[in-house]
Chains A and B, each alone.
Chain A
Amino acid sequence: MHRNGRLLHPAAWWLWALGLAYAAMRTNNAILLLAIVCVAGVVVSTRRGPAPWANAYSLLLKLGALTVVVTMLLQLLLGVRTPGHVLVHLPSAPLPHWAGGISIGGDVSAEAMLNAFVSGLRLAVLIACFGAANALAHPARLVRIMPAALYEVGVAIVVAMTIVPQLAESVVRVRAAQRLRGRRVTGLSGLRGILVPVLELALERAIALAASMDSRGYGRRAEQPPAVRRFAGGGVLLGLGAAVVGTYQLISGGGQRLGVGLLAGGTLVALAAGFVAGRRTRRTRYRPDQWRAAEWLVLGCGVLVALSYALAVHDPLAAGVALEWPPLRPLPFVATLVAALPAVATPEPPGLAPRGHAAVRSVQIAALEESVRA
């Protein structure tokens, strides 16, 4: 039997990626960092969906590599000169005192370069984790699980995401048309000739979209007094805002009690408002993402990584790394490898089914070609 796989719940993947990202933030051990990025890569390559945005990982991986290079270049040209094994001596220019120890050129030590590499790598791994989350579960699918009160926001996001590629396409079309009329396609006058038709096209499209939404039942809803509606919408935003501030307080190590209070209270307010607003919308959800054993597994892996790094890794991030081969730490390393488990232990994503229709068409074409050639 052909097993038509399923896509996992987007929240599971995003939490898993968050776990990896947290781990990357805790360490400056190059082996662990590379292990994290490899694990993310393995899981993405086996469990990403068929959609075009599934290339996000490789795209952001390249961006990450660029980050490493840029960080090291910056360190080479201007940076804090840590003493150590001098690699090269660059001609230097003194900077005034207020520059805070930063200098242009001077002695570049191997330690400084290694530190730059590791901090660049850490940033690159963070970016890669974000890319992995995007590739495994597009943000649009996250939008789908938002509370009903934020439904309108979700629609706006989805529509915006479809408009961007179309806008790019109209720019190409209009540029081509300008060339066909023998006009300049560069410079200020060229810009106007491109901007006006592109905006007109976008406007036409927006009107067509609005008509389509209207005739397809968007905005059918149960009656609710406007005051309640406003309370619900405002409440959700306010609550979420408070929760975000609370989380920040907790992470930054500010007022712990204040942080917990804001987080809990904000979440409660958002949930209550979401419930009230949800009663207004009569919308239902087609094939809502399900939370089953595989999702628990993915979440468990993410939590395991985060926990083992929280307990076992106490890298002095500010002090930098010594010029030596980084030590292999068994517990976090094994935990990181375990996080690759979803690559094999979760259901496969639905692949691109063989395109039956296209196959039929190609037979038709073949017949046609034959008859034409005959």
Chain B
Amino acid sequence: MIDFTNVSITYSGASSPVLRGVTLHVPEGELCLVIGATGSGKSSLLGAVNGLVPHFTGGRLSGSVTVAGRNTRDHPPRELADVVGVVGQNPSASFLADTVEDELAYTMESLGLAADVMRRRVEDTLDLLGLVALRDRAVATLSGGEAQRVAIGAVLTAHPQILVLDEPTSALDPAAAEDVLAALQRLVHDLGMTVLLAEHRLERVVQHADSVVWLPGDGTAVRGTPAQIMAHSPITPPIVSLGRELAWTPLPLTVRDARIPGRRLREVLPPEPPTDPPRIPGAILAETRALTVRYGGVLALRRAGFVAREGEIVAVMGRNGAGKSSLLAALTGLLKPAEGQVRIAGRDPRELRGRELTSHVGLVPQQPGDLLYAETVHAECAAADRDARAPRGTAGGLLHRIAGALDLDLHPRDLSEGQRLALALAVVLTSAPPLVLLDEPTRGLDYPAKERLVHTLVGLAGAGHAVVLATHDVELAAEVSTRTVVLAGGEIVADGPSRQVVTQSPVFAPQIAKVLAPLPYLTVRDVRRALAAVPG
């Protein structure tokens, strides 16, 4: 269905090709997962399938890409719209109509299909993706998960043979991500569609994949079954890491597979994982009392009582729209409480301005790029030093510690997601705020970048900062957080030690906890340390 023959892609101005001599064949009816670190060429590979690379992006493509018998050399993207459907990273940026129904019909209108055919296909697609209730909604009012499914529906109505998706679940909460993946699974199984999917969050998708294409980063591509690739790839979900560490064969990819060899492990492990000596809770840095926030007529938070102490890492979890971002915004004084109080070091953050605010609390927003506006990384760091009245080189030093060596002459927008997050975090930390807030920090991060982030956050907590992160990433929360707060419909429904809270909820439990339930182990590290302590 998709054939790459000796494909190399070089963008103008780049010294080396992104993809080098890639030969690849994806047969019909397969769900193929594309994995690789940031910058390894995932997006280029996906874009080449429908000819956006190089017809739209520019650059040079040698070799040939053939999809459903058509060579992308002679067929620009619009001439492939009837065989390839593409859903980008940010679906709401790709909407072309104002209501859901019209959006679903757009591609068909371009293709010139007859009115009765269009009508039938729209109805079919509404049913297939569970969108019936949304048909008359304006696309601007959709939530993240809804928008993602509408975007998939909008390309499905053209009955493409191939569906290409770039990180379809990265912005979604675990439940919404399951919805989207279930819909994809149905397309592959019921309609024989070929799906090519890039995703960083392997723990969510690898069990759904028929094959995996791994881009090691040197421009080549390796294709194999999920088990083959997972046995060697440096990027693995926690279950695979555990299986590889304990040399389980066959290598488990799903929780169900892992529970069988896991039975013996559960017998060996002590009932409680060895934990660090409990830290004495530090002073209260931030507190909300009966905080109610209204946001455009909607109740975003309802009488929420929240506390963050020195040395803590608090994970705030909940569905899209549960009030996580509102809580962070209220803690920085960006939102006006309708009722209740917010106190940062005993003061109302809304009264704090300028350096007074930044030296008390720092927030890395969902789009870290919002914080950045200098032309180069170097200028950004210099500006941060000036704003914070910190000695020159403070921000640069922090950046180096968080992200390693970076090209300081790059424009911040040319950085990878992980590097941009690191820069924003460095800028925030330059004024050394005791309270550090991060909104959805792992969106679009690959595993190495995530590992560096974990390291940084643990270091911050060790130095006495309080870290609060709003996240959908259950694995990250399990890895770093000491306390977990669960929000639902604006109310705090759970607040306690992470180990307790996440093991009690199937939605927020990390993979290892599911494998070893009822034992309260959350991460591979927990298991490793426990096994090291077990004699023999």
Contact = CB atoms under 8 A, between A and B. Distances in A.
B514 to A, nearest CB: 14
B175 A364 contact: yes
Contacts of A257: none
Interface stretch (A14-22, A172-180, A248-256, A301-309): A172-180
Interface in A25-84: 49-52
B155 A216 contact: yes
A288 interface: yes
Nearest to B94: A212
B501 to A, nearest CB: 7
A372 B119 contact: no
A140 B98 contact: yes
A100 interface: no
A220 B78 contact: yes
Q: Which DSSP category, helix, strand, loop or mixed, fits chain A's interface?
A: helix
Interface in A356-374: 356-358, 361, 364-365, 368-369, 371-374
Interface string A264-280: 00000000000000000
Nearest to B365: A177
Given A177-B371, A372-B505, A183 B98 contact: no
Interface in B102-122: 102, 105-115, 118-119, 122
Contact of A182 (B96, B97, B155, B387): B387
A11 B139 CA distance: 24
Nearest to B113: A284
B108 A209 contact: no
B478 to A, nearest CB: 15
Given A200-B413, A373-B493, A214 B77 contact: yes
Interface in B484-505: 486, 488-489, 493-494, 501, 504-505
Contacts, number: 205
Given A197-B373, A208-B90, A162 B493 contact: no
A183 B387 contact: yes
Contact of A193 (B50, B77, B78, B373): B373
B78 A217 contact: yes
B354 A182 contact: yes
A352 interface: yes
B242 interface: no
Contact of B96 (A180, A209, A358, A364): A209
B362 interface: yes
Interface residues of B, number: 91
A204 B428 CA distance: 24
Contacts of B94: 208-209, 211-212
A373 B492 CA distance: 11
Most chain B C-beta atoms within 10 Å of own C-beta, residue among A51, A165, A287, A372? A372
A215 B77 contact: yes
Nearest to A288: B115
B88 A208 contact: yes
Interface string B490-529: 0001100000010011110000000000000000000000
A356 B136 contact: no
A321 to B, nearest CB: 42
A6 to B, nearest CB: 11
Size category, A interface: 35 or more
A204 to B, nearest CB: 8
Contact of B488 (A181, A210, A365): A365
B220 interface: no
A51 B99 CA distance: 8
Nearest to B484: A372
A283 B78 contact: no
A161 interface: yes
Contacts of A286: 101-102, 105, 108-109, 115, 118-119, 122
B44 interface: no
Contacts of B362: 180
A224 to B, nearest CB: 15
A3 interface: no
B446 to A, nearest CB: 21
Given A161-B98, A356-B132, A176 B115 contact: no
Interface stretch (B79-87, B455-463, B466-474): B79-87
9 contacts: A176-B370, A181-B387, A197-B372, A200-B413, A205-B93, A212-B88, A217-B78, A284-B108, A285-B109
Given A52-B138, A209-B93, A361-B175, 11 more contacts: A158-B98, A176-B334, A212-B95, A215-B84, A216-B107, A284-B118, A285-B109, A286-B102, A354-B133, A355-B133, A365-B319
In order of increasing CB-CB distance, the 4 nearest A-B pairs are: A217-B110, A217-B81, A286-B105, A212-B94
Interface of A: 49-52, 138, 140, 155, 158-159, 161-162, 165-166, 173-174, 176-177, 179-184, 193, 196-197, 200, 204-205, 208-220, 282-288, 350, 352-358, 361, 364-365, 368-369, 371-374
